[in-house]
Amino acid sequence: MDQSLNRTFEPLLTEPWVLDIDATVKTLYGRQEEAKVGYNPTKPGRPSHVYHAYCIAALRMVLEVEVQAGNQTAPEFAHAGLFGWLDARPRQQRPTLLRGDVAWGTEKTMTEAEKRDLPYLFKLRQSDGVKELMRRSVGRKSWAPAGGGWQGVDDVLQLQGWTRQRRVVVLRRALPQDVAMVEKGTESRQERLVGMVVMNPAKPMYEYAVLVTTAPVEDALGVAQLYRDRADAENIFDEMKNQWGWSGFTTRDMARCQLMARINALIFNWWSLYTRLALPGKHTEATTSRPMLLYGLGKKTRHSQQTTLTVTSNHGRAKEIQAILTAVGGFLKRFARSAEQLSWKERWALLLKIILREFYPKRAGQTADPRALWRLSDRREGTGHPRPLYSPRSPAKELHPGLRAVRASRDDQEDHPHHWN
């Protein structure tokens, strides 16, 4: 399982990437190993497991998941697995930023990251020392726009228990003019409206947040936006729990539970890459991509010693889906023939560059295109005009414009044999 997970994403780690770390709780019913009562926001008091997951930001790919007892939601329980995973990586494969929510903004986590010279970005709990920093920042004149209605200002902070001063970014946002006041009921968790507070526009009230970071980002806007991008990690948990089964299986022992969670993550990664190849430029969740690309009615017929399997889609976009799958199948066959002299690692790395081409940085003289395959075709066939991986006459040209990004333009091919559009 380790090899399968590593092979899926390993070629991506040589490019700059951000590691998002977070945890989610899986409520358990019945007798299961390590089913402990701990933090459970949806079912307080119920036993649970906690999933500590590590993901590549923006790509929605799961690198690793650790299943632990329900009372081990604190990040300290994930340190051994997280930093052990990072230590096993060569330097060039480590992330450019380690990013987590307020639970990860602890001295131990930051110290471990600093030992490895890993930049990090965390949110701080509003302890007494952080609140004092907020009070000192109120009268400062250097507040700068930080996006989304927020303002930010840089400062340094050393809380009690910290071993050193660290850079922090204080953020504030004006509250709306009308604020509702609620209180929790004594017999239920239902909140009850107490009243409304009308703000004076001339004297706005603010909500605050404080970020701690060693990222080489100078302005508060860049730091704030980096942290806002972390919200996409929550979508991974929503998709994995509700669409891929992290909340839908039960096992008695922890070992099989860990194995199933990692199998789900592996299949999720494979399916995400496949749908990005079929529907470029976006991540398509399973609730829409599975009915579109996976569901169909099959019929096997045999005539004259030939067996034919006919698959019929009952989707409303059946013709477009047929063109997409035909183009993807043709591309993969052509890719396998053109790359037969490359090792499987080189083929997989090149295929990932094609699938995730919009995420690869375009450097001078280098783009994420399969020119290496065309040069290989030159040597094998002895021709200066190798055939492109996608046929310019593909029916997907008319039915699925998104696939135009992974085919060779006929006009460009005539003038520039090695140009990839």
At 386-403, the pLDDT tens digits run 333 333 333 333 333 333
Query: Would the pLDDT of 53 be above 90?
Result: yes
Per-residue pLDDT tens for 221-271? 999 999 999 988 888 988 998 888 888 777 888 999 999 999 999 999 999
Whole-number CA gyration radius for the chain = 26
**Short-list 212, 203, 221, CA closest to 169:** 212
Per-residue pLDDT tens for 7-17? 899 989 988 89
Phi and psi for 227 in degrees, rounded to 5? Answer: -75, -35
Q: Give the percent of the chain with pLDDT over 70.
A: 81
Q: Give the percent of the chain with pLDDT over 90.
A: 43
For residues 227 and 322, what is the distance between their CA atoms, to the nearest angstrom? 40
Per-residue pLDDT tens for 265-291? 999 999 999 999 988 878 888 888 888
**Short-list 262, 5, 285, 224, CA closest to 99:** 224
pLDDT of 375:
35
Which residues does 258 contact at the CB level (< 8 Å), separation at least 6?
Answer: 66, 67
Q: What is the mean pLDDT of the chain?
A: 81
pLDDT of 125:
94
130 token code pair: 């952080």
pLDDT of 356:
87
Query: Would the pLDDT of 151 be above 80?
Result: yes
CB 145 within 8 A of CB 151: yes
Q: Point out which residues pair with 213 in neighbouring strands.
A: 121
275 token code pair: 């749908």
Per-residue pLDDT tens for 166-214? 999 999 998 876 777 777 766 666 777 767 666 666 777 889 999 999 9
What stretch(es) of the chain map to CATH 3.90.350? 2-274
Report domain 2-274's class.
alpha beta
Query: Would the pLDDT of 359 be above 60?
Result: yes
**Beta-carbon count within 10 A of 386 CB:** 20
pLDDT of 182:
72
